[in-house]
Structures are given as C-alpha cells and as structure tokens.
Amino acid sequence: MAFNTGLSGLRAAAVDLDVTGNNIANASTVGFKGSRVQFGDLYANGFLSSGSAPVGDGVGVQSVKQSFGQGNISFTDNGLDLAIDGDGFFVLNNGGELRYSRAGQFGTDKDGFVVNNQNMRVQGDIADAAGNLSGRTDDLQISSDNLSPRGTSSLRTDLNLDAREQALVETEFNPLNPSTYNHVTATTIFDSLGNPHEATQFYTKRDSLGSQSNWLLHLQIDGELVGGAAAPPATPPTTPPTYYPYTLAFDEGGALISANGDPDGVISIDNWEPKDGNRGANGAAILGDAIFTLDLGRTTQYGANFGVNDQRQDGYTTGRLSGLDVTQEGVIFARYTNGQSKSLGQVAMASFTNTDGLSPAGDTGWVETFESGQAVIGRPDTGTLGAIQSSSIEESNVDLSAELVNLIIAQRNYQANAKTIETSDAVTQTIINLR
C-alpha cells in the first residue's frame, strides 16, 4: 500500500512540476494565463465500522485550474497591437473554427485582413463604404485604397461684421480695390474631382433702412464672381453676364434677419462651374450638380472688430492611407493624407458564463466547450466587456517569483514521496531477508 501511496504522490508532484514549469516557460508569452494544480486525497470505497479511521490511498490530481486574472499592460509602437483592459476575449477565425484569445499582437496579411501571428483573422463589425458600422460580424480588413474626393456641399462662415464701419453707398465694387468693400475672408472649397478652389467673400456695408442695417456680399470663386445673374446668358454667351451681389440684413440688436431673403441665413450657390487654370471646364460636376450652400446663420453685426469665428466646409481632395487609430471601443479608424478619417470596422469581443470551462487550444487561444457555455459576442467597453488599449499588449499574468517558490515546493514534495517509496522498499527488503 505504501508503494501505491508514494507512487500517487510522485505522479501528483510530477504534474505540479509540469504545470509550474509551463507557467515559468510562458512568463513572457503575451496574453498567457497561468494555471495551478488542485489536488484531492484518495480513499478506498466501502462501509467502515463505527470509530475506525481509514488509511488513505494517496493523492490524485483533481484538475488543472486556469487563472484568467488581468495581466500587466505594456505599450508598443504598433498601432494594431491591442490589449483588453477588463474581461473578454478577441474572436479569431482559424479556417472556420472560432478561437478566443487575449493576445492582441495583430497585423495585416497580403490581402489586408487583420490577423495574429498564426494568420487567424480577427472578427469584428464591418463598416460600409461610408464608414458606417453595419452590424455584420466578419473578418476585419484594412483597405489601402485611396479615399475618394468629396465635393463641397456646405460652406459655413461664422463672423462678425463691424457695425461701426462707414457705409459705402456710391462706391462700385472692385475686388482689386480694397476701398470698395469693408471686409474680406477666403477659404478653400473642392469640386467633385477633389480639385481645390478659392472662395472669397467680400462684405460691403450699405445704407440702413430704419432700424435695419444692410450689407452686400460679393462671392468670388477662383477670381470669378458667383451670384444671381442679371439675365440668362446667351447660348453660347456673347458677353460675361452681370451678377447681383447677395444681400444681408441685420436688426438693431446686431442679429441676422435674412441672407438673400432666407431667414435662416442660408444662401444656395447654384451657378458655379468648376474650371481649370486656363478657365476651361475641368471635367467636374457643373451647374446644378455643383450646388453648395453658404450658411451665414451665425453672422452678427456688433460694434466690434471684424473677425471670423469659424469657417468650415465638408469637401476634401483624395487622400492616401497614412495610419490607423483604434479607440477604446475597438473602432478602427483609417487616417488619410488629406486630414480625413474613416471607420473601417469595430473589433468584436466575446464573453462566457463560465470562463474556467474554456479549453486551451495552444497558440495562446481557447475554444468553446459545453462547460464554458456559448460565446456572447459584443462590442468593447460595453456591459461586462473590457475596453481596448491600442499600441499595447497584455503581458502574461504569471508571477515568476511565486512560481519559483512553487517549483521548490513541488521538488520537495517529489523528493519526499520518493523517500516514502524508498522506505517501503527497505521495510520490504527486511521482511524478505528474514530466515
């Protein structure tokens, strides 16, 4: 019996050594979760008489328990290195089989798919061409295509016109003569091909009617006036058409009453034809297709210096992919050389009712089992799922100092159980030597 008892102790101590050694070997493995051995004593089955104390049959390994505690998070210089701060797992597609991992050392393959070191594809919420998340989970892919240009459809100008300025009643507007207008501001807009054009706004104060102050706005794009034509031009035009300026009206409190008759201060620009440097059509959308709006709804006329508070437009030229950003919600944004960004997708995460029931599959991954329950797929930083830290990795949660101490204990236990067998052998040899 002592032989069997000692042998069971040797086996248990050997498993303890194996698990401890595996923990030590993976102390630097990204996303690794350490394990510990759980032991149980062994007793022979059967009815025992009252007051008797059974002799145990040794020890057995009940289970190897995984520890899913959080590992330290360290920073890297790779934007696609992701760490989970909290609960949850990355979802990986391994040739049709789903794997779950905490190791976020990701990159892209030759087709642009986001993959780990074993070419398992990261799963996520796919974005459409406009960058809107579709709600469909699939392989995340980084497109290296250029961002298509977008023509300006809205130009917003927030400014203050100085109420102290003198009205220029008898002066004929001339963009080359600063004495024919009071204020000027310019910005860049884009046509449908992404070509830049300079839009210049000239503001001229006119006479006041009662408590209402009036201003004129002359709009130039690339040096050509844009506004309401005095009469429809001939086909083909024989002379350049004459343009009326747009009108702005302010009340006695300096608030905008209307812009060209619109109480909201929005002027529709519908007669602009994008041209090239030689004043010829450049192939971009023209006339009705080139409409954009000039929003002056936040313009004021106060007794203060002229100033542009804000000026923005929604067009841009084409852009090349220059980098990636990942938010704590796991949304991957592509940055382009034109200053724009677009969502490419959102990393998916999985949680389980019983995390301890996951089965290790190697390569720092786990697979779902009956014991773990089915995976619940969600978005990072929602519910019980942790947040994403980009340019970071989660280190192994192995405490190397504790494991070295465990190694000493396991070695001592192994030697002690070997001593039990040695002692039993000596006793048996004594019996055999009896004559």
Among residues 254, 286, 313, the one where a domain terminates is 313
> Residue 89's pLDDT is what?
97
Distance CA 136, CA 133 (A): 8
Mean pLDDT of 199-225: 88
Q: What is the CA 339 to chain-centroid distance, rounded?
A: 17
Give residue 409's domain range.
2-69+396-432
What is the CATH number for 225? 2.60.98.20
Q: Is the pLDDT of residue 230 over 70?
A: no
Of 136 and 227, the one with more pLDDT: 136
Average per-residue pLDDT in the chain?
88
Strands 73-75 and 349-351: unpaired
| 297 and 216 in a common domain | yes
Contacts of 278 (CB under 8 A, 6+ apart): none
State both tokens at 11: 């086996």
Is residue 117 a contact partner of residue 158, using CB atoms and an 8 Å limit? no
Of 70 and 429, the one with more pLDDT: 70
How many domains are contained in the chain?
3
Distance CA 140, CA 118 (A): 16
| 160 and 49 in a common domain | no
CA torsion sign, 163 to 166 to 171 to 174?
Answer: negative
Extended strands (E) in 262-419: 266-269, 292-295, 300-302, 307-313, 321-326, 331-336, 341-347, 349-351, 359-362, 365-367, 376-378, 387-390, 392-394
> Residue 100's pLDDT is what?
97
| 237 and 161 in a common domain | yes
Strands 292-295 and 266-269: antiparallel
Q: Is the pLDDT of residue 262 over 80?
A: yes
> Residue 288's pLDDT is what?
62
Can you give the pTM of this predicted structure? 0.77
> Residue 258's pLDDT is what?
93
| 85 and 45 in a common domain | no
| 284 and 137 in a common domain | no
Which band of pLDDT confidence, cut at 50, 70 and 90, is reported for residue 298? very high
| 169 and 134 in a common domain | no
| 383 and 338 in a common domain | yes
pLDDT tens-digit series, residues 399-422? 999 989 988 988 888 888 777 777
> Residue 233's pLDDT is what?
54
DSSP 277: T
Least confident of 24-28, 58-62, 255-259: 58-62
Least confident of 8-12, 52-56, 298-302, 366-370: 52-56
Mean pLDDT of 375-397: 94
Q: Is the pLDDT of residue 291 over 90?
A: no
Which band of pLDDT confidence, cut at 50, 70 and 90, is reported for residue 231? low
| 165 and 253 in a common domain | yes
Residues in the chain: 435
> Residue 226's pLDDT is what?
86
Distance CA 81, CA 52 (A): 62
CA torsion sign, 352 to 362 to 405 to 392?
Answer: negative
Distance CA 154, CA 187 (A): 12
Of 288 and 323, the one with more pLDDT: 323
Q: Is the pLDDT of residue 51 over 60?
A: no
| 297 and 274 in a common domain | yes
> Residue 53's pLDDT is what?
62
* Torsion-angle region of 432 (φ positive above 0: left; ψ -120 to 50: alpha; else: beta): alpha
Q: Is the pLDDT of residue 114 over 90?
A: yes
How many C-alpha atoms does 186 have within 13 Å on its Cβ side?
A: 11
Is residue 344 a contact partner of residue 323, using CB atoms and an 8 Å limit? no
| 140 and 173 in a common domain | no
Which band of pLDDT confidence, cut at 50, 70 and 90, is reported for residue 236? low
> Residue 412's pLDDT is what?
87
pLDDT tens-digit series, residues 164-185? 998 988 788 899 999 999 999 9
> Residue 281's pLDDT is what?
80
